């Protein structure tokens, strides 16, 4: 009798511990992506200056692989702000190698496009400007 209840308690304990580990392990919201950006606060309207800056950066650092309306080496970026959260987009720009390894959505894109997007030496401010450019395309 004592043996059985010990076993049951141990089993319960194991279940409790593994649920904690599971919840803890999933603490990072996959929709936010993996990288330095934890939270982006957006204004309701698009900032035209910031978006113009973002377009300049995009035209130098991203057009080798991306177009807005058609897929090229990478996906078309029209409506990207509708399918992804701002944090995810900025983390993808700032941390693409880890994203394609550890974030389900980015991993699936990599499996589909078969080319590894690489970090283009953009600062967080530049990534924020590019996000604003995407917002202006999608409004
Ligand atoms: C070497 C080619 C290459 C360059 C340069 C590149 N990308 Fe990518 N990008 C890709 C590929 C390919 C993917 C799909 C994921 C993968 O395979 O790595 C992608 C995915 C993305 C995504 C996710 C799209 C979606 O549908 O969710 C965003 C956003 C993005 N890139 C933005 C940028 C920005 C902004 C730049 C410039 C700073 C840039 N990329 C530069 C190739 C590139």
**What is d(CA 87, CA 119) in angstroms, rounded to the nearest whole number?**
16
**What is d(CA 74, CA 95) in angstroms, rounded to the nearest whole number?**
16
What's the CA-to-centroid distance between 117 and ligand 1, angstroms?
5
> In the prediction, which pLDDT does 96 show?
98
Look at the chain and count its residues: 139
Note the pLDDT tens digit of each residue in 29-38.
899 999 999 9
Note the pLDDT tens digit of each residue in 58-90.
999 999 999 999 999 999 999 999 999 999 999
Tokens read off for 111: 């499996």
Residue nearest to atom 15 of ligand 1 (CA): 110
Q: Which residues of 82-97 are buried (b: 16+ CB within 10 A; e: fewer)?
A: eebbbbbbbbbbbbbe
What's the CA-to-centroid distance between 66 and ligand 1, angstroms?
7
**What is d(CA 127, CA 88) in angstroms, rounded to the nearest whole number?**
11
Tokens read off for 117: 């997007």
What's the CA-to-centroid distance between 96 and ligand 1, angstroms?
8
Confirm if 29 and 105 have CB atoms less than 8 A apart.
no
- Closest listed residue to residue 33, CA positions, set 109, 79, 87: 87
Residue 20 pLDDT > 80: no
Residue 27 pLDDT > 80: no
> In the prediction, which pLDDT does 12 show?
72
């Amino acid at each position: 009798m004592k043996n059985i209840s010990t076993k049951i308690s141990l089993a319960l304990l194991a279940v409790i511990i593994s649920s904690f580990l599971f919840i803890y392990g999933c603490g990072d919201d996959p929709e936010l992506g993996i990288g330095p950006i934890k939270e982006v606060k957006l204004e309701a309207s698009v900032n035209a200056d910031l978006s113009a800056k973002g377009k300049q950066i995009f035209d130098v650092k991203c057009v080798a692989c991306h177009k807005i309306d058609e897929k090229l080496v990478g996906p078309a970026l029209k409506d990207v702000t509708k399918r992804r959260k701002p944090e995810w987009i900025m983390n993808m720009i700032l941390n693409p190698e880890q994203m394609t390894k550890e974030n389900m959505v980015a991993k699936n894109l990599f499996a589909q496009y078969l080319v590894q997007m690489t970090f283009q030496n953009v600062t967080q401010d530049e990534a924020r400007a590019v996000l604003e450019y995407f917002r202006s395309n999608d409004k």
